[in-house]
Amino acid sequence: MSWAQSVTWCIQSGGMLTSVEDLAESNFLVEHADLYTSKTSGFWIGIYRNVNGQLLWQDNSALAFVNWGEGQPSEDQLDYCVELSASSGYWSILPCSSQRSFICKKPKNAQKDKAHDHMNMWMLLTLVLIVLLGMGFMIYFLFKIKTQSETEREARRYSTLLESSHVLTGKDDEKDSTNDKEKNEHSVV
């Protein structure tokens, strides 16, 4: 990728092209970059030249440590970008449109924040699930209570109807038995 494409990719990934703050970090990068020497000769790093011609890291910090190769940077290559050699670790100037691999650096806080955001999302999802389950149980029990009280009212009404029917039926039975007695008495006489 070109330097600009590499910058864009790193930013979209939550980081920036790497800065090299000291010799220990440079050695670390060379050790790991050496694994890729068969695929690329160098990697873009995050040095750029501001409008005043000053070289800065992508986060706008000054270059406190430099590891330029011999004769680098030359004054006639001011608009060029910087690569880290995969084999030696030295820096050199190349046209920004050159195709190189790149090394992104993400702040440690960004990784922790991302993990923290995932944990917050799971906690929120769990809380929503608990609330929904609670509401579901409340609706179920309210429906059950409503259905049960309607059933009890129906049972009471049916019981009242049966009692009324029995009372009515009982009175008719007495009249019928009285009538039967009178019929029997008339026939006997």
Query: Mean pLDDT over all residues of the chain?
Result: 79
Q: Can you read off the two tokens belonging to residue 75?
A: 């004054």
> In which band, very low, low, confident or very high, does the pLDDT at 168 lie, cut at 50, 70 and 90?
low
Are 59 and 19 in contact, with CB atoms under 8 Å apart?
A: yes
CA-to-CA distance for 41 and 56, rounded, in angstroms?
Answer: 23
pLDDT of residue 48 exceeding 80: yes
Mean pLDDT of 6-21: 91
CA-to-CA distance for 63 and 45, rounded, in angstroms?
Answer: 12
Are 94 and 77 in contact, with CB atoms under 8 Å apart?
A: no
CA-to-CA distance for 166 and 162, rounded, in angstroms?
Answer: 6
- Structural domain boundaries of the chain? 3-106
Mean pLDDT of 74-82: 73
pLDDT single digits (tens) 103-129: 888 877 655 566 667 777 788 888 888
pLDDT of residue 55 exceeding 90: no
> In which band, very low, low, confident or very high, does the pLDDT at 6 lie, cut at 50, 70 and 90?
very high
Nearest Cα neighbor of 92 from 74, 72, 75 is: 72
Q: What is the pLDDT of residue 166?
A: 61
Looking at per-residue pLDDT, the higher value among 149 and 187 belongs to: 149
Are 56 and 43 in contact, with CB atoms under 8 Å apart?
A: no
- Those residues whose C-beta lies under 8 Å from the C-beta of residue 65, and which sit 6 or more positions away, are 20, 21, 22, 23, 25, 26
Q: What is the pLDDT of residue 141?
A: 86
CA-to-CA distance for 182 and 189, rounded, in angstroms?
Answer: 11
CA-to-CA distance for 64 and 31, rounded, in angstroms?
Answer: 21
pLDDT of residue 75 exceeding 60: yes
pLDDT of residue 37 exceeding 80: no
Mean pLDDT of 132-146: 86
User: Which amino acid makes up residue 105?
Assistant: K
Q: What is the pLDDT of residue 137?
A: 87
Question: CATH topology for 3-106?
Answer: Mannose-Binding Protein A; Chain A (3.10.100)
> In which band, very low, low, confident or very high, does the pLDDT at 44 lie, cut at 50, 70 and 90?
very high
